[in-house]
Amino acid sequence: MKTHEISLAIKQLASDDGVVREKARNALVAAESRDVTEALIAELVDYRHQVRWEAAKALSQIGDPIAALPLVHAMDDDDHDVAWVAAEGVAEMGEVGLQAVLSGLSHSSRSGSFYKVAHHALKEIRKHGKHRDVVAKVMATLEGVEPRLSAPIAAYEALQELRGNGSPANGPAH
């Protein structure tokens, strides 16, 4: 897909016609190039919720690991539908998605709705079976009384464990 074709398809994501938006999204997904991924990432902050939703959906379908952190940021979107689509996209990215969610959770300045969406992403990641114990610990903090205080610490420790650095509470991993 050429640059002008990408630009046109991106513009079509703002169409009032759902069929036009879906065709544009499908064309962008089919192209699967780094230029497409970067253009879609830029649209995650568009002022129109439907453009953000289409961008999150397309990025989720493409599955390029460079979109993991931008999708985690989109999980904090004011529009719940955008946040939910972003969470599902990150969950499909496996290990990269898990690390991105944990990284996002390790920053304590998130909205309350972010924690609910992050819980959904982790639940979807857990279904894939890998790192179930690590995911379960973090999910427990998200289900607890004060996730804004406990989740960032649990997420940080989980990241350390995944990276093989051990966690401060458990010592080095062997």
Give tens-digit pLDDT for 69-103: 999 999 999 999 999 999 999 999 989 999 999 99
Task: Record the tokens describing residue 40, joined without a space.
Answer: 């879609």
pLDDT tens, position by position, 106-131: 985 667 789 999 999 999 999 877 78
The residue ranking higher by pLDDT, 170 or 113, is: 113
What is the pLDDT confidence band of residue 132, given thresholds at 50, 70 and 90?
Answer: confident
Cα Rg of the chain (Å, integer): 17
pLDDT higher than threshold 60 for residue 6: yes
Q: Please give the average per-residue pLDDT across 9-17, as a whole number.
A: 96
Do 90 and 140 share a structural domain?
yes
Do 155 and 90 share a structural domain?
yes
What is the sign of the dihedral through the CA atoms of 114, 116, 118 and 120?
negative
pLDDT tens, position by position, 133-162: 889 999 999 998 888 889 999 999 999 998
Containing structural domain, residue 26: 1-62
pLDDT higher than threshold 70 for residue 170: no
d(CA 74, CA 51): 12
Residues 64 and 34: beta-carbon distance below 8 Å = yes
Query: Is 172 inside a domain boundary?
Result: no
What is the pLDDT confidence band of residue 165, given thresholds at 50, 70 and 90?
Answer: low
| Amino acid 158: pLDDT | 94
Query: In this structure, what are the phi and psi dihedrals at residue 83, rounded to the nearest 5 degrees?
Result: -60, -40
Split into its structural domains, the chain has a count of: 2
Do 131 and 106 share a structural domain?
yes
- Whole-structure pTM value: 0.88
| Amino acid 169: pLDDT | 47
Q: Is 49 helix (H, G, I), strand (E, B) or coil?
A: helix
Residues 37 and 4: beta-carbon distance below 8 Å = no
Q: Which residues contact 137 (CB under 8 A, 6 or more apart)?
A: 154, 157, 158
Query: Is 74 inside a domain boundary?
Result: yes
| Amino acid 172: pLDDT | 41
Query: Is 91 inside a domain boundary?
Result: yes
What is the sign of the dihedral through the CA atoms of 156, 134, 162 and 62?
negative
Do 133 and 49 share a structural domain?
no
Do 162 and 77 share a structural domain?
yes
pLDDT higher than threshold 90 for residue 14: yes
| Amino acid 109: pLDDT | 64
The residue ranking higher by pLDDT, 132 or 75, is: 75
Give, in order, the Cα–Cα distances in Å from 9 to each of 20, 32, 117, 156: 9, 13, 28, 38
Query: Is 131 inside a domain boundary?
Result: yes
Q: Please give the average per-residue pLDDT across 55-72, as a whole number.
A: 96
